[in-house]
Amino acid sequence: MKRIAIYDTTLRDGTQGEGISFSGTGKLRVAERLDAFGVDYIEGGYAASNPKDMAFFRDVKKLNLKHAKIAAFGSTRRANVPVGEDPGVLAMMEADTPVVTFFGKSWKLHIRDVLRTTPEENLKMIADTVRFFKERGKEVIYDAEHFFDGYKDDPDYAEETLRVAAAAGADLVVPCDTNGGTLPNEVYEIVAGLTASFHTAIGIHAHNDSELGVANSIEAVRAGALHVQGTINGFGERCGNANLTSIIPNLLLKMNCLCLKDGRESVKQLRDVSNFVNELANQRAWTKAPFVGDSAFAHKAGMHVDGVRKNPESFEHLDPAEVGNKRRILISELSGASNVFLKAVEMNLQVDKSSPEVREILRELERLEKEGYEFEAAEASFKLLIQKVLKAHRSFFDMEGFRVIVEKNGETEDCRSEATVKIRVNDEVEHTVAEGDGPVNALDGALRRALTRFYPQIADVFLTDYRVRILDPEEHTAAKTRVLIESSDGKENWSTVGVSENLIEASWEALVDSVEYKMFLEEQAGNGTPKA
């Protein structure tokens, strides 16, 4: 099995992406998670750039990392500055990491217009910096910035920048597609030539500006590269870096390359790692992300669902469990009996695919979608719909009424929302009031306050997202509104939908489904539901 080293630069190159930022504590938590995942290198930051990165290098030594090596990042010495006096080089030494990774220029355009020095001085800058760190016992990785553009401009000089790094003792040289514009066939041809003529190991650092970061990394490995740099979820400047959440499973599961410490066992953590990093970066997960996204193994067309039910390989390129994901069956106007049948099976309901009940569910689905309901993103509401059609649903409470007041104070400019809810559980009536940041927040608070005495589990439920879509814009203020609410109890996440010409009523409908679905989960788990 071919061994490929994974070099994660989420905490350095990834943070250069728009909207991406980690707290100091967050960076340490990501490092711990990546180490447990089994990557080989974790690039902690640019040593000379900011105090937060230097604090990371100090604090990461206190972690009990089991496998990954921490790397500090920087650049070659500056032109005409002795290497031992260059502030950036000294900052990398101050970081006190076992690995240093620094970049140098491979493209004469950059040497002339950016560094404003000579090609000869540039080569000396690379060699001097490698020797400085090797003499001090560091593992040295040389990133050849803009290598592929430089190679197309002057292949001999671009290769020479790698040769002087290797001759000075670099442990690894990494050609970089910094602008992200190189095609996979070009990467393969160039890297194959390098691996044939170099004794030093070759790596790859790709960007995604042409949406080829993953493909270029795979092609470099096919051409002989033994080291891949990238970021979790493809975070990075402009269009991002090569996405490790796609590269790793392709290498491990499809190319039989060992690229995580524990191989196939490690890659089962892939979706969890992706979500963990998104959460700490305060990013919403991309639902269509290959391998790890919610939609990666989601099936909608009736024929596809029927095929997956009979043999998953018919419409899935691998078992979702191999990357920690799961299959999802979507419900829409394209649904067939197989979709409904598999949803019923998920709910442990006894129903036959050809039964009249399945046809009745499909008819009710069609009717509701004509009214503006959409269940693709509201699976909890659809599961409750199945129960209602099959007469398997029991209402946990009845709504007697609700009222919402929004009051604006002209003097203080405060805007106050208050909701009153009256519900009946068995023979008991509960009448409660709550305030909130807005009308929906107040309504949610009043509903849960009314129910908590009867169903304490409701206290665990909180809203994670609230989305509104206007369905008939030509109707202006009388248009129908669809509300989607995402809820969580800290263990499970679910989505519900409501539709009405009245925004508050649509929100109430989605809120009620959210609460009832929580009680359904409790019953399904065998926890029972407290009675009044």
Around Cβ 456, how many Cβ atoms within 10 Å?
Answer: 10
Q: What is the pLDDT of residue 37?
A: 97
Place of tokens 């019953």: 523
CA distance 219 to 251: 11
Average pLDDT of span 136-162: 97
Q: How confident is the model at residue 528 (pLDDT cuts 50, 70, 90)?
A: low
Which of the two residues, 172 and 501, has the higher pLDDT score?
A: 172
DSSP string for 496-521:
EEEEESSHHHHHHHHHHHHHHHHHHH
Which of 38-42, 259-263, 330-334, 428-432 bottoms out in mean pLDDT, i.e. has the lowest? 330-334
CA distance 290 to 200: 33
Average pLDDT of span 306-317: 79
CA distance 249 to 236: 20
Beta strands in 181-316 (DSSP E): 201-206, 227-230, 257-258, 298-299
The dihedral region occupied by 418, where left means phi > 0, alpha psi between -120 and 50, and beta the remainder, is beta
Q: Is the pLDDT of residue 529 over 70?
A: no
3-state class of 484 per DSSP?
strand
Which residues are CB-contacts of 357 (< 8 A; sequence separation ≥ 6)? 351, 389, 390
Average pLDDT of span 442-461: 88
CA distance 423 to 432: 9
Which residues are CB-contacts of 311 (< 8 A; sequence separation ≥ 6)? none
3-state class of 245 per DSSP?
helix
Q: Is the pLDDT of residue 438 over 70?
A: yes
Q: What is the pLDDT of residues 385-414, one digit of tens each?
A: 777 777 766 678 888 889 999 988 767 677
Q: What is the pLDDT of residues 174-200, one digit of tens each?
A: 999 999 999 999 999 999 999 999 999
- CATH ID of 2-280, from 3.40.50.280, 3.20.20.70, 3.40.50.170, 1.20.1250.20: 3.20.20.70
Q: Is the pLDDT of residue 239 over 70?
A: yes
Which residues are CB-contacts of 284 (< 8 A; sequence separation ≥ 6)? 278
CATH 3.30.160.270 positions along the chain are: 398-524
Q: Is the pLDDT of residue 466 over 50?
A: yes
CA distance 169 to 128: 10
Which residues are CB-contacts of 188 (< 8 A; sequence separation ≥ 6)? 219, 220, 222, 223
Q: What is the pLDDT of residue 337?
A: 60
CA distance 37 to 16: 23
Q: What is the pLDDT of residue 302?
A: 64
Q: What is the pLDDT of residue 68?
A: 97
Q: What is the pLDDT of residue 531?
A: 47
Place of tokens 């190319």: 255
CATH 3.20.20.70 positions along the chain are: 2-280
Top-confidence range, 65-79, 280-294, 313-327: 65-79
CATH topology of domain 398-524: Double Stranded RNA Binding Domain (3.30.160)
Strand partners, 4: none
CA distance 270 to 232: 10
Compute and round to an integer the Cα radius of gyration of the chain: 29
Q: How confident is the model at residue 476 (pLDDT cuts 50, 70, 90)?
A: very low
Q: What is the pLDDT of residue 392?
A: 65
Name which of 360, 376, 377, 532 is nearest 455 in CA terms.
532
Around Cβ 240, how many Cβ atoms within 10 Å?
Answer: 24
Residues 451 and 442 sit within 8 Å (Cβ to Cβ) = no
Residues 166 and 173 sit within 8 Å (Cβ to Cβ) = yes
Q: How confident is the model at residue 282 (pLDDT cuts 50, 70, 90)?
A: confident
Q: What is the pLDDT of residue 308?
A: 74
Name which of 427, 328, 329, 349 is nearest 391 in CA terms.
349
CA distance 339 to 238: 40
Which of the two residues, 473 and 288, has the higher pLDDT score?
A: 288
Which residues are CB-contacts of 36 (< 8 A; sequence separation ≥ 6)? 66, 269
Residues of the chain above pLDDT 90, percent:
59
Q: What does the mean pLDDT of the chain come to?
A: 88
**Whole-model pTM?**
0.74
Residue 76 sits at φ, ψ, to 5 deg, of -60, 165
Alpha helix ranges (H) inside 281-370: 302-310, 337-346, 356-370
Q: What is the pLDDT of residues 30-88, one digit of tens each?
A: 999 999 999 999 999 998 777 888 999 999 999 999 999 999 999 999 999 999 999 99
